[in-house]
Amino acid sequence: MTWAGWLLMTLSCGVVVSLMVFCYRRVLRTPRPEEHMHAPLEIDTRDADT
Amino acid sequence: MAGTLNAPTEPVLARRRPRENWGSRLGVILAVAGSAVGLGNFLRFPGLAATNGGGIFMIPYFISLLVLGIPICWVEWTIGRYGGARGFNSAPGIFSALWPSRVSKYFGALALIIPVGIYMYYVYIEAWCLAYAWDYVSGTMTRYGADAGTDVTAAVAAYRTHFTEFVGMGENGLLVYGSLQKGVVFLLIVFVINFVLIYRGLTKGIEAFCKYAMPLLAVFALIVLVRVLTLGAPDSSRPEINVNNALGFMWNPKTGDEGFLAALANPELWLSASGQIFFSLSVGFGIVLNYASYLKADDDVVLSGLTATSTNEFCEVCLGGLITVPVAFLFLGEANLTKDVLGSTFSLGFMSLPAVFARMPAGSFFGAVWFFMLFIAAITSSLSMLQPAIAFFEEGFGMGRRLSVTCLGLLTAIGSLLVVYFSKNLLATDTLDFWIGTVCIFMLATVEVILVGWVFGVGRAREEVKRGAALEVPRVFWFIIKYVSPTYLLVIFGFWCYKNIPAKIDEVRAMSPEDRGTVLLMLAFIGVLLIFFGMLVNLADKRWHLIGKLPLEPARGLPLAAADEEGRTRS
């Protein structure tokens, strides 16, 4: 195998593996929208007191 | 709702089941990746790369991935989710939502014909993979090449003879050869598995299956990869045939007599690379469109699309690229790896590789693992080919899952029986693959990109993509989607037609009357499919207007909103 063959193989596989690892890391670390959404804060405006 | 007053059957027609959604983000990613990863990743890509410049092939390959694959992938995910948010899961409905016009739905019909048409022959090839795996497990596969002894060429010839007999390439009528053929039995098994899974639905069927099948596929492929990379020099009398040189055969840049840049400037190389990216990612099949329509309105499409794409690329470049051709080189030698062998999926996969496993230590085990892995890759793809039509039957005609699965089962069974019956030289398979599996796909992908870039508009598409996005799409991609991708697609398609269609016509002219009859019959069948789905789409469109899922059609040039208002008044 020539050095150019090694280079092209390593670069091709390296790019693909890096992209996949990056993507799966982001997917597994980012929660879905409903998983990080919370109910609105209960703010007491004291309207009833007046 | 528009049209409800003059539609007495509306409550029945408009009866809606709860909308299906994916159970998890990983589930949809694996389902889309499963759809994309197929036999092409392990059998087509390595042969294509090895015969088109080796390592040089990867340069146009990655450029095509950036310019064609990823942008079209994002386009499909985006318009799929857009249609889903408007209550449509099938391409005719999604296209109508995207472009309110009388003709848009018919473009969507292409996205039904393509997966259904491909399924008809793909399921048969899937059955071969399972049958080969079974033959390795039961020990019968080694018997087919036993007479060849140590002669590699004779072994490949023996497995070629076995394959030819197994699929009935000698003459038409595999179904009626006098006894129930093994290929037909496995076709029935695979057909039933597909329809049982699809009947279970999106989450319990497709998603649940892909969640286990995709990791299993990767594990099986890695087992074979480790075995291949640790083979060293299998024949001690020929130390030059070793793993290092086998990888070199696949990855060394082959420039011939010309220089690196001259080899890179070869248009054939670019055509092959972009074609591979295109088919490998399953863009233009109408499948991603359908899968993405089951996302929620705020679900991410950018990261999910990219993850599914990267999974496909991993299977193709890192697994397919390091296993298939190197292992064939190690056991068959360079002399047996001609352009004809490497350029044909069937020749490489079902004739040459069995001769490889026959020579490999513990070859039966690795053969079984390899062909079962191919079966998994194929079934995750074939499942995805059924879902778009199921979704269309359900939402277009209000059918229940049982009825829609039955209707699709009958339709695909007719097509598959034709493919199996007209088995001589696999002409029926070849005709469907050429016209539906290639020409129609190019057409649909071009329509999609033009629709999003020029009709729906890049500005609206950008806003749509941004919603829920876990990654930002670089600005340059919008320029690519609007200008580069359509131009690139049209040029490739034009060049492909120029190169292949006259050759195909000449090939048919030179055939015997029987073979020509088979090709013409399959072409007539494709014509019937086009008319049939065109009519169904027309009927579904009327129903959608009737139940108010789509606004009334624009009459006398009125804009849709005004026409809708007029329709209400008339009612």
Torsion of CA B428, B431, B434, B437, to 10 degrees: -50
Q: What is the pLDDT of residue B274?
A: 87
Residue of B nearest to A13 (CA): B318
B307:A27 CB<8 A: yes
How close B342 gets to chain A, by Cα (Å)?
19
Residue of A nearest to B27 (CA): A27
Q: Which residues contact B81 (CB under 8 A, 6 or more apart)?
A: B292, B293, B295, B297, B299, B301, B464
Half-sphere exposure of B78 (CA within 13 A, CB side): 30
Q: What is the pLDDT of residue B317?
A: 96
How close A50 gets to chain B, by Cα (Å)?
41
Q: Please, is B373 exposed, middle or buried when counting C-beta atoms within 10 Å of its C-beta (0-12, 13-18, 19+)? A: buried
Is A18 in CB contact (< 8 Å) with chain B?
no
**Tokens 């016209």 sit on residue:** B435
Instruction: Give, as one character, the DSSP assignment of residue B452.
Output: I
Predicted confidence (pLDDT) per residue in A2-13, tens digit: 999 999 999 999
B524-543 residues touching A, CB cutoff 8 A: none
Q: What is the pLDDT of residue B268?
A: 83
Q: What is the pLDDT of residue B256?
A: 77
Joined together, the tokens standing for residue B38 give 């197929």
Q: What is the pLDDT of residue B210?
A: 96
How close A13 gets to chain B, by Cα (Å)?
6
Sequence length of chain B is 571
Q: Which of B208, B186, B112, B132 is nearest to B411 (CA)?
A: B112
pTM over 0.90: no
CA pair distance B69, B489, nearest whole angstrom: 11
Please tell me which of the candidates A16, A23, A27 has its beta carbon nearest to residue B317.
A16
Sequence length of chain A is 50
B314:A20 CB<8 A: yes
Q: What is the pLDDT of residue B4?
A: 38
Assembly ipTM? 0.86
Residues of chain B found within 8 Å of residue A23, distances taken between Cβ atoms? 303, 306-307, 310
A26:B471 CB<8 A: yes
How close A18 gets to chain B, by Cα (Å)?
9
Please tell me which of the candidates B253, B321, B470 has its beta carbon nearest to residue A4.
B253
Q: Give me the helix-helix angle, B321-332 and B243-251, nearest 10°.
A: 120
Torsion of CA B279, B280, B282, B288, to 10 degrees: -160
Q: How far apart are the first and last CA of chain B?
A: 10
Q: Which of B151, B351, B314, B108 is nearest to B221 (CA)?
A: B314
In order of B77, B195, B209, B528, the CA distances from B284 in angstroms are: 11, 23, 24, 21
Predicted confidence (pLDDT) per residue in B132-180, tens digit: 999 999 999 888 877 767 788 888 899 999 999 999 888 888 766 667 7
Res. B97: pLDDT tops 70: yes
Q: Where are the alpha helices (DSSP H) in B99-181?
A: 104-138, 141-144, 152-167
B25:A5 CB<8 A: no
Residue of A nearest to B246 (CA): A1
CA pair distance B156, B148, nearest whole angstrom: 9
Q: What is the pLDDT of residue B570?
A: 45
In order of B61, B92, B210, B235, B561, the CA distances from B557 in angstroms are: 46, 22, 47, 76, 11
Average pLDDT over residues B419-445: 91
Predicted confidence (pLDDT) per residue in B490-532, tens digit: 988 898 899 889 999 999 999 999 999 999 999 999 999 999 9
Residues of chain B found within 8 Å of residue A6, distances taken between Cβ atoms? 251
Write out B315-366 in H/E/C secondary structure. Answer: HHHHHHHHHHHHHHHHHHCHHHCCHHHHCCHHHHHHHHHHHHHHHCCCHHHH
Please tell me which of the candidates B251, B304, B313 has its beta carbon nearest to residue A8.
B251
Average pLDDT over residues B451-473: 91
Q: Which residues contact B416 (CB under 8 A, 6 or more apart)?
A: B119, B120, B121, B123, B124, B187, B191
Q: Which residues contact B94 (CB under 8 A, 6 or more apart)?
A: B79, B80, B82, B83, B84, B88, B108, B289, B293
A32:B252 CB<8 A: no
A23:B54 CB<8 A: no
Q: Which one of B25, B251, B319 makes the best mutation probe of the A interface by having the most chain A beta carbons within 10 Å?
A: B251
Q: What is the pLDDT of residue B1?
A: 39
Joined together, the tokens standing for residue B244 give 């290092």
Predicted confidence (pLDDT) per residue in B344-396, tens digit: 878 888 988 999 999 888 999 999 999 999 999 999 999 999 999 999 999 99
Q: How far apart are the first and last CA of chain A?
A: 85
CA pair distance A13, B5, nearest whole angstrom: 62
Residues of chain A found within 8 Å of residue B58, distances taken between Cβ atoms? 8, 11-12
Q: Which of B561, B54, B38 is nearest to B260 (CA)?
A: B54
